[in-house]
Amino acid sequence: MQVLVYTASWCRDCREAKRFLESHSIPFTEIDVEETPGAAEELLAHVGKRAIPQFVVDGEWIQPYRPGRGFLYAEMTKRFGITGSRGVDRRRS
């Protein structure tokens, strides 16, 4: 499985998304939209807006958060086939 994570250093939800992946030992490649030429335009082309974080899992674009709700723990746990509760904040799911 190839996982890309579109992020920015100032983005709180991006840090949470990376913590989630790291806590479940899911390897990923980070693409900082402010440091990587063309990354912001790539977001716009695939998502229609410059919303981060974004996961790209084996070519499929996934928004792992919802404005006002934060990171989607339950949905991402299911999507990645994670069993058990390690790293899952059930208050937000």
pLDDT at position 68, please?
A: 85
Structural domain boundaries enclosing 28 = 3-79
**Residue 8 contacts by C-beta under 8 Å, 6 or more apart in sequence?**
14, 32, 33, 34, 52
**Residue 84 contacts by C-beta under 8 Å, 6 or more apart in sequence?**
none
For 14, the token pair is 């991006």
For 57, the token pair is 């899992």
Return d(Cα 64, Cα 70) in angstroms, integer: 8
49 in any annotated domain: yes
**What CATH number should be reported for the domain holding residue 12?**
3.40.30.10
Alpha helices in 31-72 (DSSP H): 39-47
92 in any annotated domain: no
> Using one digit for the tens of pLDDT, what is the confidence trace for 81-90?
998 655 444 4
> Using one digit for the tens of pLDDT, what is the confidence trace for 11-69?
999 999 999 999 999 999 999 999 999 999 999 999 898 889 999 999 999 999 998 88
Backbone φ and ψ of 50, nearest 5°? -95, 60
Residue 12 CA to its chain's centroid (Å):
11
pTM for the full predicted model:
0.84
